[in-house]
């Protein structure tokens, strides 16, 4: 197998491929973002981008374009692999996530053919560089497609596969990737850092909680000093009510309503942000009321900042 791989690398001209300009049309289709719980870099593959007819035609319109796509895919993977740590004990594999939401269906022969070619090529020449392959937002038809390509996959490759339906996608990702590392579009808290959202980054850990059906979950943040406290909170899928209060320690003190209880719909802002200037000791209560018959995943994190005079 090693001899075949060496021959393939020569034929594919891997070293020159790294410097080849293949454009940036596919930068939203495949991208690196964060790390899993074991430190593997995570690569996202977003097949729904190919719903764009112009991009689809430009990528798979003929044999030459499909070959160019395969070269781009290998170029991206090869570049990512060369950033891994191959020293003893180092992280030398990649965690792959394939998002099949809105992916073109099985009728798209060109995509199906290119996907099969890519899987075979990666399996033959990069077999040990994938730590796990998680498929999310998996539609029913993809499982039928998987049955078709299953005979062409080795048992070792298949053992790394995990499939998750749309309803289970975020929950499945959180098993392997911390919520603060998961992009916001996949149920996590991670957004590209910018001046408009300076409070939290991918390195700020989040806490996960499960809100049982028909119950109210209260996150209690104890305040030990005068400060400004900032937080962000998300319930995957929402359909819950959210409110926030400050309760002072002083006997007879008045509870301050920071955020009046409000129902949050799935299409509302995915991550809610809050802040409060604390002038006396007490506690912040973040209240999530789940009236549905389904359990919900609650994510939150907070920071305490000194109170400037």
In CATH terms, the fold of domain 207-306 is Jelly Rolls (2.60.120)
Q: What are phi and psi of 296, to 5 degrees?
A: -125, 145
The whole-angstrom distance between residue 191's C-alpha and the CA centroid of its chain comes to 10
Secondary element (H or E) of residue 260: strand 256-264
Asked, colleague to colleague, whether 2-177 and 207-306 share their fold, the answer is: no
- The per-type count for the chain, helices as H runs and strands as E runs, is 8, 13
Distance CA(49)–CA(225), nearest Å, equals 49
CATH architecture observed for domain 2-177: 3-Layer(aba) Sandwich (3.40)
Q: What angle do CA 247, 250, 253 make, to 5 degrees?
A: 60
Q: Which residues of the chain fall short of a pLDDT of 50?
A: 195
Closest CA to 284 of 234, 249, 250: 249
pLDDT of amino acid 195: 47
pLDDT at 12: 84
| Domain segments of the chain as ranges | 2-177, 207-306
Own/partner contacts of 177-181, CB < 8 Å, gap of 24 or more, are 177/34, 177/35, 177/36, 177/37, 177/42, 177/95, 178/37, 178/205, 178/206, 179/206, 179/208, 179/299, 180/204, 180/205, 180/206, 180/301, 181/33, 181/34, 181/35, 181/36, 181/42
How does DSSP classify residue 34?
A: E
C-alpha 147/C-alpha 158 separation (Å) is: 11
The predicted pLDDT at position 194 comes to: 53
Between strands 240-248 and 207-211, the pairing is unpaired
Residues in the chain: 309
| CA nearest neighbour of 302 among 267, 278, 269, 279 | 278
> 272-278 and 130-136 as β-strands: parallel, antiparallel, unpaired?
unpaired
The answer to whether the pTM exceeds 0.85 is: yes
CA-CA distance, 50 to 156, in Å (whole number)?
Answer: 29
Q: Is there a contact between 112 and 106 (Cβ–Cβ < 8 Å)? A: yes
Q: Is 81 exposed, middle or buried (0-12, 13-18, 19+ CB in 10 A)?
A: middle
């Amino acid at each position: 197998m090693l001899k075949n791989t060496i021959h393939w690398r020569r034929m594919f001209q891997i070293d020159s491929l790294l410097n080849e300009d293949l454009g940036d049309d596919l930068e939203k289709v495949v991208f690196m973002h964060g790390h899993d719980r074991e430190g593997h870099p995570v690569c996202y593959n977003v097949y729904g981008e190919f719903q764009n007819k112009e991009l689809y035609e430009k990528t798979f319109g003929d044999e030459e374009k499909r070959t160019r796509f395969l070269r781009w895919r290998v170029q991206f993977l090869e570049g990512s692999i060369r950033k891994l740590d191959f020293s003893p004990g180092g992280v030398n594999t990649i965690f792959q996530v394939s998002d099949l939401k809105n992916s073109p269906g099985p009728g798209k022969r060109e995509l199906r053919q290119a996907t099969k070619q890519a899987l075979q090529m990666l399996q033959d020449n990069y077999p040990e560089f994938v730590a796990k392959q998680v498929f999310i937002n998996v539609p029913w038809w993809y499982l039928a497609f998987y049955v078709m390509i299953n005979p062409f996959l080795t048992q070792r490759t298949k053992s790394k596969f995990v499939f998750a339906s749309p309803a289970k996608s975020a929950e499945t990702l959180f098993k392997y990737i911390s919520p603060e590392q998961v992009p916001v579009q996949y149920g996590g808290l991670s957004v590209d850092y910018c001046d408009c959202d300076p409070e939290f980054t991918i390195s700020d850990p989040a806490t996960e909680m499960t809100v049982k059906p028909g119950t109210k979950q209260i996150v209690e943040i104890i305040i030990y000093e005068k400060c400004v406290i900032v937080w962000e909170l998300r319930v995957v899928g929402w359909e819950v009510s959210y409110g926030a209060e400050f309760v002072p320690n002083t006997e007879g003190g008045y509870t301050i309503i920071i955020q009046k209880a409000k129902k949050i719909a799935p299409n509302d802002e995915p991550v809610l942000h809050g802040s409060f200037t604390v002038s006396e000791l007490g506690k912040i209560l973040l209240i999530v009321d789940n009236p549905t018959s389904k359990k919900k995943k609650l994510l939150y994190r907070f920071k305490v900042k000194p109170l400037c005079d």
